[in-house]
A and B are shown apart, each in its own frame.
Chain A
Amino acid sequence: MTIFRSKLNFFIVIIFLTSCSSMNVTEENVYSEDIKTVKASSQSQTTENISFDSMAVFANATIYFEFDKSSLTSKSIQTLKSAVNALKDNQSIKITLAGHADERGTREYNLALGQRRAEAVSDYFVLNGINKNRITVKSYGEEKPVAYGQDEMSFAKNRRVEIN
């Protein structure tokens, strides 16, 4: 596969150089290569103020999605209905919705897709009477998979919103 397109320019440059002088003389200094390593200190995971009873309702609540989609399935809505009830019963609970994507596609697009999925879940909560102030929405895109295979089963497990 040869797709080199600048052949014409290339010849002009050579002709120009050779017509000016028979030899190029140059002198240069190398640049400094200073580099400093930084260590990022990760903030400790904020522990949510959740009572033991409601933890049981929310632990491992995960909503799954189709490829490149952020729409809720009827199965997801069943899961979300019980979550809405638990949130209504426990007004002190705040939740974090973390959206995720499978590894196919670009990282930034997947970050945005994960956000859309988390927002879709958030919208459902708000539509069903949950105050938006109780919800934090974020995305990890494809950065935190739960399944590592390169098959549809793994991909399906990774296209998710985790409710915590």
Chain B
Amino acid sequence: MLFFQSLISGILTGGIYALAAMGMSLVFGVMNISNFAHGDLMMLGMYMAYYLFTLLNIDPFLSLVLIMPAAFVFGYAIEKTMINRVIGHPSENQILLTVGLGLIMGNTALLAFTSDPKILTTSYSSSSFNLPGDISVSIPMLLSFLVTCLLTAVLYLFLSTTRTGMALRATSQNREAAQLMGIDVSRMSAIAFGIGTLLAASAGALIAQTYYIDPFAGHTFLLKSFTICVLGGLGSVIGAGVGGIVIGVVEAMSAAYLSSEWKDVVVFVLFLAILLLRPRGLFGRKGEQ
């Protein structure tokens, strides 16, 4: 029973990881930038959900409708004003720029919201139901997972059927060739970063009921998202989706059968093993290592 319980909760948590990691992977694919501010963007999503609920009484799942466009505009603006200036620069400069942006967001949040952790409690926050065999399933986690599936499906359709989506994929495959075909690659970068921010903030809003909300709450997800992206192949959105579920399950299993203190170590060891043995990940294409 422990096995199935861990499997179910691993899959549910993994769904959220997947959502956060897909945004990061899209940004990496289109712009070739590792976004170290991704965790802080998630944190902003958590606070938005918190304040929309406490001040305006909007349910966290409904508030996604407001959070997503706001996050998209925010990401688009950051890309246009700052990040586009380091595209094609050495990766260290890109990393440090996003680290700097993350420090600004996290510490601004610290000034604005203080370091006291906040808890978002709705009427159904701690409710759960039991599957046969005494496996309990948390309702907010299940809802989050379903929303994640919906968002993933929309993202997939967007990338595979719309003109902008195809242009994004073309830019991701080969920036120069895409530019030669008349695609406005700098606009694609801004759109990719906007969508990346949207996905990060959505993931943040979805977990706002399950985790403590504090200015640095996104940091644990940052490293996890990187692990997932590398597992799935940096730049592969589908890979990030599958990778998220895998990491969620691995974590839940190591917490159940090893110990909860060592589960993060297991994830990082796995991460290094993938980097060394199969650097392009499960679904990645051949290329930079």
Q: Do A and B bind each other?
A: no
